């Protein structure tokens, strides 16, 4: 929805049907079963974001989670991000941060990451 300078969005998927490729220590792909009767959490995905943009200033914050099938259970892949920009004249600066955490079916963290970025643009 659009509410003046604020944009809000959300998504939900009952079964993504998206498979991850086989990885080190895992001989077969994970995920990809789509909706599984009797297993409401398996392969679900959801997220939300809010963006604000007015004048030279803009900021966006978002969260996304996917619960892929791993064997007979599901893991968790979570991502959260925030980014902003400020424009002045013909130039704009931008920066952001994204946090990520992936857990296997047993709840053990298998990957954790922090991504930062900064950028600038100038309209010639």
Q: How far is CA 50 from CA 58, 70, 105, in A?
A: 11, 31, 30
pTM: 0.77
Return the half-sphere exposure (C-beta side, CA atoms, 13 A cut-off) of residue 108. 3
CA 110 to chain centre: 17
- Beta carbons within 10 angstroms of residue 32's beta carbon: 14
**pLDDT for res 32:** 61
pLDDT at 25: 58
Q: Which residue, 11, 9, 119, is CA-closest to 65?
A: 11
Nearest to 36 by CA among 16, 13, 15, 12: 15
Instruction: Give the integer Cα–Cα distance in Å for 81 and 115.
Output: 9
Per DSSP, the three-state class of 73 is strand
Give the domain ranges of the chain: 2-122
* Distance, CA of 1 to CA of 35 (rounded, Å): 27
Local confidence pLDDT in tens for the 124 residues of the chain:
999 999 999 999 887 766 666 555 555 566 566 676 777 777 888 999 999 999 999 999 999 998 877 666 778 889 999 999 999 999 999 999 999 999 888 888 988 999 999 999 999 8
């Amino acid at each position: 929805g659009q509410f003046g300078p604020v944009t809000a969005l959300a998504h939900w998927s009952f079964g993504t049907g998206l498979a991850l490729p086989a990885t080190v220590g895992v001989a077969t792909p994970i995920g990809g079963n789509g909706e599984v009767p009797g297993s409401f959490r398996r392969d679900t995905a959801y997220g939300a974001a809010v963006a604000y943009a007015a004048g030279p200033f803009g900021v966006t914050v978002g969260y996304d989670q996917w619960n892929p099938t791993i064997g007979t259970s599901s893991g968790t892949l979570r991502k959260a991000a925030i980014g902003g920009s400020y424009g002045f004249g013909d130039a704009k600066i931008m920066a952001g941060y994204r946090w990520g955490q992936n857990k296997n079916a047993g709840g053990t963290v298998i990957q954790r990451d922090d991504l930062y970025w900064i950028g600038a643009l100038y309209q010639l």
